[in-house]
Structure formats: structure tokens, C-alpha cells
A and B are shown apart, each in its own frame.
Chain A
Amino acid sequence: MDLLSNLALGFETAFSPVNIIWCFVGVLLGTLVGVLPGIGPTATIAMLLPITFTFSPVTALIMLSGIYYGAQYGGSTTAILINLPGESSSAVTAVDGYQMARRGRAGQALATAALGSFFAGSVATLLLAMAAPPLASVAIRFGSPEYFALIVVGLLVSISLAHGSMLKALGMIVLGLVLATVGQDAYTGTPRFTLGQLELYGGINFVSIAVGVFGVAEIFRNLEDERGREVGVKHVTHLWLSREEFRRIAAPVMRGTALGSILGILPGGGHVLASFASYAVEKKSSKHPEEFGHGAIEGVAGPESANNAAAQTSFIPLLTLGIPAHPVMALILGAFILQGIVPGPKVISSQPELFWGIVASMWIGNVMLVILNLPLIGVWVKLLSVPYRALFPAIVTFAAIGCYSINNNPFDVYAVIVFGVLGYALIRCGCEPAPLLLGFVLGGLLEEHLRRALIIAHGDPMVFIQNPISAVLLAVGVIILVVAALPSIRGKRDEVFAEDEG
């Protein structure tokens, strides 16, 4: 059996003392930078690249990969505890995770995130080991028409992210889409809404928006009323899950893992959709949809699993095709090249111990992460008892450092202030930040793929229908719309008939 001998080779490589140590260093660092708001894996990997010069290629890549998926574990911690997501995936976790924390269930939320991530990470790694090359050929089949259709479906189902007014959620998505148009137009180079600021040519920084509308706005909200202050919930009841809670998270974790694994393979933006899509699925299939947005444990379990599965499978296009799916993968591609290896179709066969070593190390790394993270839950929860006069400035300081470190650009820090104020205004109006963030993240991709699909088709819009995958996806979108609209249409008709009779 090929797979077994390959895995044996992989584990032999990954279990060498040097690799074990650096794998641990990687996941530990990843957890830490994931926990610190704003300081993400990109900055960390960039800073550590020079150190890996002296390593063998496999050791260097084991450590750098460890930082990446370790950060996925850590990233949920701040999202849950202080409503401060560092990336789009943890923005979804913040929605229900933070509500759980406010209700004294931070321990359960963190445990759910860790266990869900572990399960998803293990399954996705197995997938990577068994089927990387065939899965990569799926990725190749996805072109712009397919991505466009996928994103349309994503936006339609995302309405479920809102737990209040549907109209306000739609408004927030549109606002996000509008914000995404800021920056230089990729197709003509024309600056759009840049207000003469060169810093805005590259668009608004995602982290600035996320930290502003979630974290900083939440701090403002807490500051307005001395008695209603909530950050710093002291009474935490249980740290561990009850049997009932285990039962509730089992299905969401499995669904999230499946969804995340599939979406993670698509390099044109699939991984971004993973946690949003999982949240939508859980809310739709839940028997208690009214709990979502108020601390539903499924709303943490599904997206966290999806996010970690996608993180793992997003290595597939890189390792098999040499195509990076997102900025962190681009950085890891750079690490490969610095080591004199250009990832591509031949890496698996020409460097088997490298490929299988990395795959095996991911498994080991996931085990280390769960061992590392479960005892840490108690420590993190204690952080909540830090008095707010120390906690608030600390959060803001770390967030500012994190935002600055992404591009070494003070402008991004000013943007946090603007979005903090905007976010506070939105909370006051009863609008939620999650749909805004989704609109922003998907807006850029939506425009990119729509325009590219049309350019390649020489302007023929039929391309979206002639293409089987996109046609099916768009049909799904239409069905979602009809299903969503039916009750109100029926309601209207009943009204009309009632009037007629009267």
C-alpha cells in the first residue's frame, strides 16, 4: 500500500527530534500570535523567515506551517473572549462565541473551538495525504464564472448571519461591498474613492475594519455605561463541555469539516467562505435558530471546524500546483523558494520526504495544539477578570501594534479609529458588523471574478449559464431567493384575498 509506506516515510521525517522541536515551536508561536489581536501569521512568518535559512527545507516548512495552523487555533481565543477577530474566519466565531463568553460560558466556547479544530485538522490532513493530486484537479476546474456563482450563493446565504432585521443585514452587506470598491481598479489602474491618499490605493485593510467595527466599537459600547460594563465577565461557571453539549456539537463539527475541506481547496477565495458558509448551514439546520447570535454553541463549533479544515486543505493547491491560495500561502511559497525548491506539480514525486514530512507534521502539530490549548483555557478565562481599566488600553494597544505590523503603515492604525467610531454608530442603530465584514471580504472577489469572467468571454454574459458548475450554483441561488421570498409572497396574497372577500 503506497499511502502507508508514504506515511511511514512522512512520520519518520516528522518524528526526528529536530523536526518535533521546531514543529512545537511553530504551533506555540502560532497560538500566541493568533491570540494577540491583529498580529497575524503573515507578520510572524515574515519575521521568522531569516531564521529558517539555516534549517533544512523540511524543518523550515514544518515550523512555518505550524505557525499558520497554530494561529487558526489561537485566533478564535480573542474573538471569543474580547470580540476581537484578527481575520475573516474568526469574525464568524466572534458572533456567537463572544455571546457565550458574555453569558459566562467562555470555557465551553474555547473548548468547543479547540476540539472542533482538532477534529477538522485531523480529517483534512488525512484528505491531504490521500487525495491531494486529484483534489488539485478540482481546483483547476474552477474559473472565474464558477467563483462568481459561488460567491453569489455565499452572499445570499449570509443573510442568516444577522439575527435581527433582515433589511439592516442587507444594508450592512451592501455597505461592505461598497467599502470593498475603495482602491485602485485592478483592470484599469484608476484610483477609486482614494481621496487622494496613496495609502488607499491598495484598498482598506481588512484587519483595520475587523478590529474597528468589532473590538473597538465594543469597547466604546462598554464605556458608555458604568454599570452595564461587560468585558471582564468574572463568573465563569464551567470550563468543560457537558454531555448534552458534546451531543450538540458533534454534527456541526462534522458538517463544518466537510464544508471547510472542500472550500479550502479552491484557491480563488474558497477558504474565505468556509466559516461563513458553515455558520449559515448550522443556523438553517438547527432546531433552535433563535439561539444563534445569542450564544449558540453550534455557531462556534461549525465555523471553527470549517476554518481549520480549510486552513489545512489550502495547502493542496500550493503543494501540488505551486499556486498560493492566500497571502500566508504566498509567504510559505517564498519560504520554499528561499530553500531552493519551487513548489509545483513535481514536488511530491521529486521530494517525497518533504511532502510527506509536512503532511505528517501537521497531524503531530494538531495533537500538540489540542494538548497545548485545553489547559490554556483556564488561563485565558482568568484574563477576563483583569480590570477593564487595564484591559481596555491593553486591547487597543495590541490591536494598534497588530494593525501597524501588517504593512508598517500608520494609516492602517488611523483607519481603526474611523471604523471603531463607525462600528459604534452601527451598534447604536441596531446594525450588526458580521454581514458588513462578509460583504467587504467577498465584495472584492465578487467584482474581480465577475469582470474577469466577462473579459475572458469577450463580454458575453451567457458564460455564467453555459458553464455547468456556475449554472448549477446560480440555480441554487435562485432557489434560495424563492424560498426566502415565498412566505412573504404568500402572506401578501392572503392579504389580497382577504380584502377581496371583504
Chain B
Amino acid sequence: MSDLIEIEDLSVTFRAHGRAVHAVEGVSLRVPAKASFGLVGESGSGKSTILRAICGLAPISSGAIRIGGEKLKSPRDKAFAARVQMVFQDPYASLHPRHTIDRTLSEPLAIHGIGDTDARVMRALTDVGLPTAFRFRYPHQLSGGQRQRVAIARALMLEPEILLLDEPTSALDASVQAEVLNLLNRLRAERGLTFLMVSHDLAVIDHMCDRVLVMQNGRAVEELAREDLSHARMTTAYAQSLFAASADRMLDPAGKDAR
């Protein structure tokens, strides 16, 4: 049986000032259906670029991406949008400032010709734990955590199988991060979603994902199962340094001695 997301030897190259920038070089990964896969690494390591390449927002120079065994069409079609949706890092930038929440949430339905808009919008708000009274508010009337909930609701409007999460909580406070992570986990359990999640926070990835790929300078460094991560059984020096630098180690009695 093939995996839901298959990425094979993917490379993404940008041209800037006549110079080629290799953002992603020869990365392969496979995510089975209903699994949660994490990408971790420093900024510029190409982790977000992989998500963008899946959505057709970054130029693929070689390699292949398959979703459910099928090659992706360029440009991505409506059927792709119905299957794969993305939640971006910055909820202050990813919602249209002049559209009400209602318009933001009903737009995907209008594009895909799905009726029953009213009920679906109300249900989407309830599902992400927002009061339905928020429906006709504008993004500037919401807090960062509430906006990210709206962004998640929008991504779920078309009932996709796959959610691509690009640092969904890095712009949020710790207490709000906890709420959003709990929400994502609940939705995944309820709807059998597949997550491909990017974060620079190993503790977040560990909490959310079954497997994690450590990236550096556009290349895959090491793929780890969750148990190996928590027991620090990484084999490469880079993954170890990432683990050691994780602020989370502070709270760990064992980590404290290591300081």
C-alpha cells in the first residue's frame, strides 16, 4: 500500500540576482494516511519551502510529489484544494483584513460550488471553539489565537484529508499555543486528518508528531521516530545540537544536570 503523501528526491531552486539558491535539495519523505509528520530545522533549512512546493507556491526543479499515489497537476486544481489545505504561520498576515470572518470562511464554499453556506460556517466556528457571534467580525477585532482558529476553520471548510501546518503556533503566547495544539489534535482525532507540520520547536513537534525529519540547509539530515527523539537517540551531530539547544531541556531534571 502506498502512503498518502510521497515526496521523492525533491529539489526547489530559486533564481535571485542571477544566482541559483537551492532551497531544498533531494529531500524524500513519506507520510501514511492519518499520520502526523513533523519537519524541524532552523530558518532557511527549507522546511516551509517543502510545504509551499506541495501547494504549488514554490518552483519544483526536480523530483516528484504524489498525493494518494497521483502526481500533482500544475497549476494545482480544485480537487487538490479539496484534499490539501494549508495553515500559515502568521495569523495577522494570512487573513484578509477587509473581509469579515463570514466571507473568509464562505469563500472556499462559493469557489467549489458547495451550498448550505450558513450552516457550514456556523458549524466551522463551533468546531474550532469560537462563538458564532464572531461571524461578522473583522480580523482586527480578534486576538492572535482567535485569528489562528479562524485560519484553521478556513482550512477545514472543504473537509480536506491533509493539513499542511507551517509553524501554526509560533506567533502565539504559550497559553494560547497550548489551546491551538489541543484543538489541532482533537480535530485530527475526530476527522482522521493527516498532518505535515513545520516547526522550529522540537517540543511542539514531539507533542504533535509520530515521526520527524530534521533538516539543515535544504537537505534532510535525519528522520526519527518519536520514541527516538524523546530518548535522544539521534545519530547526527546536528540533530543532537538541536536537541541540546531546545529550551525545553531546562524543565527536564536530566537536562538540568547536563547544563
B and A form one assembly: no
Which chain A residues have a beta carbon within 8 Å of chain B's beta carbons? none
Which chain B residues have a beta carbon within 8 Å of chain A's beta carbons? none
